[in-house]
Amino acid sequence: GENVEQHPSTLSVQEGDSAVIKCTYSDSASNYFPWYKQELGKGPQLIIDIRSNVGEKKDQRIAVTLNKTAKHFSLHITETQPEDSAVYFCAASKGNNRLAFGKGNQVVVIP
């Protein structure tokens, strides 16, 4: 089945700096790549997603890039704020309503 790897496991950034999380996937049939943010005591929340026919997508301070040839995709958070501190998960799907998740990144924004 699909295998999604996520690096680094923990990321500390100064407030106002950028954070980048990278993921790789194994199944070239995957065509949908969402990113989820999980805060303590809550379920994961979808923050941005991208489909395989698009190379980049941006939503305010968050952007995602996809390189299908290399089978990797990245989450970029600019101008980080303390409320960005959370665990971020990348995931991949072949469109069958089933997601394979990475193990998650703990992002810590230092005020």
Q: Tally the C-alpha atoms within 13 A of residue 93's C-alpha that lie toward its C-beta.
A: 12
Phi-psi region of 85 (alpha: psi -120 to 50; beta: other; left: phi over 0): beta
Determine, following the binding rule CB under 8 A, whether residue 96 of this chain makes contact with another protein.
Answer: yes
Between residue 41 and residue 60, which ones bind another protein under the rule CB under 8 A? 41-46, 49
Determine, following the binding rule CB under 8 A, whether residue 95 of this chain makes contact with another protein.
Answer: yes
Determine, following the binding rule CB under 8 A, whether residue 86 of this chain makes contact with another protein.
Answer: no
The structure tokens listed for 9 are 């496991």
Determine, following the binding rule CB under 8 A, whether residue 97 of this chain makes contact with another protein.
Answer: yes
Determine, following the binding rule CB under 8 A, whether residue 89 of this chain makes contact with another protein.
Answer: yes
Q: Which of 79, 103, 76 is nearest to 91 (CA)?
A: 103
- In our burial notation (b when 16+ CB lie closer than 10 A, e otherwise), range 28-57 reads eebebbbbbbeeeeeebeebbbbebeeeee
Q: For another protein, which residue of 11, 13, 22, 32 counts as binding (CB under 8 A)? A: 32
Please, which residue, 58 or 98, has the CB nearer to another protein? 98
Provide the minimum distance between the beta carbon of 89 and another protein in the complex, in angstroms, as a whole number.
7
**Residues at the contact surface with another protein, assessed by CB under 8 A:** 32, 34, 36, 41-46, 49, 89, 91, 93, 95-104
